[in-house]
Amino acid sequence: MADFLILAFHRRLHDKPVVIKDLAIHFREKRKAAWKEEIKDGKVLKEETRQRTRPDSASPKPAKPAQNPSPQAAPADVLTPKGGTEKQ
């Protein structure tokens, strides 16, 4: 943006024609070329590899029935946050 203003002002001071549309196209092409060069020569910040499942394990296995988390806890007991049980 500053380049555009400086170039237009310089042309105005030296009584040269200032064609805004031509200047805009010139700077747009210049920015686009710089962006393409940056993309082409850019460095990789992080590279990840995804682990794929094996074809034989692709089919879902049947779900196991839920087990009672504590074998001593009766159905009327409630588990506390620290793993203990309380009577209701």
| Binned average pLDDT, 10 residues per bin, the chain of 88 residues | 85 88 91 91 85 70 64 61 65
> What confidence score (pLDDT) does residue 28 get?
92
> What confidence score (pLDDT) does residue 29 get?
94
According to DSSP, the residues that pair with 75 across neighbouring strands are none
Residue 18: left (phi > 0), alpha (psi -120 to 50), or beta? beta
Residue 27 within a domain: yes
> What confidence score (pLDDT) does residue 60 get?
62
Residue 82 within a domain: no
Residue 32 within a domain: yes
Domain that residue 27 falls in: 7-38
How many domains, the chain? 1
What's the predicted TM-score (pTM) here? 0.41
> What confidence score (pLDDT) does residue 4 get?
83
Count each helix (H run) and each strand (E run) in the chain, helices first: 2, 2
> What confidence score (pLDDT) does residue 57 get?
58
Residue 16 within a domain: yes
Question: How buried is 68 (Cβ within 10 angstroms: 0-12 exposed, 13-18 middle, 19+ buried)?
Answer: exposed
Residue 30 within a domain: yes
> What confidence score (pLDDT) does residue 7 get?
86
Residue 73 within a domain: no
